[in-house]
Amino acid sequence: MPTNLPADYFNAEERFRSATTPEDKIKYLEEMMSTIPKHKGTDHLRSDLRKKLSKLKAAATSKKTTKKQVSPYHINKEGAGQIVIIGCTNAGKSSLVQTQTNAEPEISQVPFTTWSPMPGMMYIDNVQVQLIDTPPFCEEYIDPEFLNLIRRVDLVLIMLDLHTDPVQQLKFIYQELQENRIAPQHLEGLIEVEDFLLYVPSLVLVNKYDNEEYEEHYQIFKELLDLDCPMLPVSTKTGYNIDTFKQTVFDMLGVIRVYSKAPGKEVDKTAPFVIEKGTVMGDFAGKVHKDFQENLKSARIWGTSADFPGQMVSRTHVLEDEDVVELQI
Ligand SMILES: Nc1nc2c(ncn2[C@@H]2O[C@H](COP(=O)(O)OP(=O)(O)OP(=O)(O)O)[C@@H](O)[C@H]2O)c(=O)[nH]1
Ligand SMILES: [Mg+2]
C-alpha cells in the first residue's frame, strides 16, 4: 500500500466499508478512486480498484435486470385465500375489486382499461382474502404468467356482463382456458378431453344484475347456457347479492375459523385461525404453538362441534367453523 494517500481517500474508504447497498458501494469506490494521486506508486492500487468497480457494476446491473424480469403476475398470497377474477373487457372486474377491497384500480366504460393485475384484500366477516383484478381475458394474446396465476390460485371468479351476450363471453373464456389446458372444476366429466386438463375451482359471477328487473334476462341466459355450475348473479353497482357472493367464496375456499383462548379469558373473535375444513384438534394445537402439539394435556371446546359448552375433546376431534378452543399443557 503506498503511503502518500490523502485523508479524503481514507474517509471515502471508511464510507465504502460501511456501505450496505451496491449503489452506495459503487459511489464510495468511485470517490476513493478520484482521490488517488496518479503516479507510478499508485498504479497497482488504481488497477485493483478499477477491477473491483467493474465487478460491482456488473453485479448491480445483473441484479437490476433480474428485478425487471419479475412478472407482475407473481403475487404473493396473503390472507386466507388467493382469488383471481377473469373476464372480458367491461365485465366489471375492477369494479368488484374497487368496491370490495382496499385497492383502487381504474374503472371506465371505455374498454381495455386494466393493463396489469392488481391485488386487494377483501373482508369476509372477520377473515381477509386476496382478490386480484386482471386485464381482459378475451384477447388474442394472454400473458403466460397470467395463465400460471390462474393455475395457482385457490379460486377463479369468472365474471360475465349480463348486458352483453353472457353466453358468448363464457364460451369464449372456456375455450381460451381449454386451449391452455385449464378448465373450471364444474366442467369435469362434462367435456371431451384429449389432453391433460388442469381443473381449477371456479365460480361464475353474472355481473350488472342491478335489481330484480334483470331476473328475466338472467333466466334467459341460464336457459341458453344449459349448464349446472356454481353461479351467482351480482351487481357491483348496487351491491346486489354481494353478501351471498362473499359467503359462497368462503365456503368454496374450504376453510373454517377457529379461535384459541387462554383458560379463564374472554375469546378474541377478531383474530381467528383460518384452517382447512376437516382439521383435527391435534393438528390445530400444532398451528397455535409447537409446544401444544407435543405436550397437549387437554383441550376444551365451545361451539357447533361441541356436545355441550366446554366439552373436553381428544386430539382426533374434528373442528368446525367458529369453534372456540382452550388448550392446556
Ligand atoms: N350497470 C352496471 N354497471 C357496472 C357494474 N359493474 C361495473 N359496471 C360498469 O361497467 C364498466 C366497466 O367496469 P370495469 O370495472 O372497468 O370493467 P373491467 O372488467 O375491469 O374492464 P377491463 O379493465 O376493460 O377489463 C364501468 O362503466 C362500470 O361502471 C354493475 O354492476 N352494473
Ligand atoms: Mg378493469
Q: What is the pLDDT of residues 213-263, one digit of tens each?
A: 999 999 999 999 999 999 999 999 999 999 999 999 999 999 999 999 988
Residue 63: the pLDDT is 67
Cβ of 86 below 6 Å from ligand 1: no
Among protein residues, the one whose CA lies closest to atom 16 of ligand 1? 107
Residue 189: the pLDDT is 86
Among protein residues, the one whose CA lies closest to atom 8 of ligand 1? 92
Residue 4: the pLDDT is 78
Q: How far apart are CA 211 and CA 230, in angstroms?
A: 20
Residue 238: the pLDDT is 98
Cβ of 210 below 6 Å from ligand 1: yes
Residue 271: the pLDDT is 86
> What global pTM score does this model have?
0.79
Name beta bridge partners: 13. Answer: none
- CB neighbours of 37 closer than 8 A, spacing ≥ 6? 4, 5, 6
Mutate-to-test residue for ligand 1 from 86, 88, 89, 90, highest number of ligand atoms within 8 A of CB? 90
Residue 66: the pLDDT is 59
Residue 58: the pLDDT is 84
- In which residue ranges of the chain is pLDDT below 50? none
Among protein residues, the one whose CA lies closest to atom 24 of ligand 1? 112
Task: Tell me the CA distances in angstroms from 314 to 283, 297, 318, 319, 329, one per residue in order.
Answer: 11, 10, 9, 11, 13
Residue 232: the pLDDT is 97
Report the C-alpha dihedral over residues 317, 318, 319, 320, rounded to 10 degrees.
-140
Domains and CATH numbers, the chain: 7-69 (no CATH), 82-253 (3.40.50.300), 256-328 (3.10.20.30)
How many residues in total does the chain contain?
329
| CB of 236 closer than 8 Å to CB of 99 | yes
Residue 297: the pLDDT is 85
H/E element, 328: strand 323-328
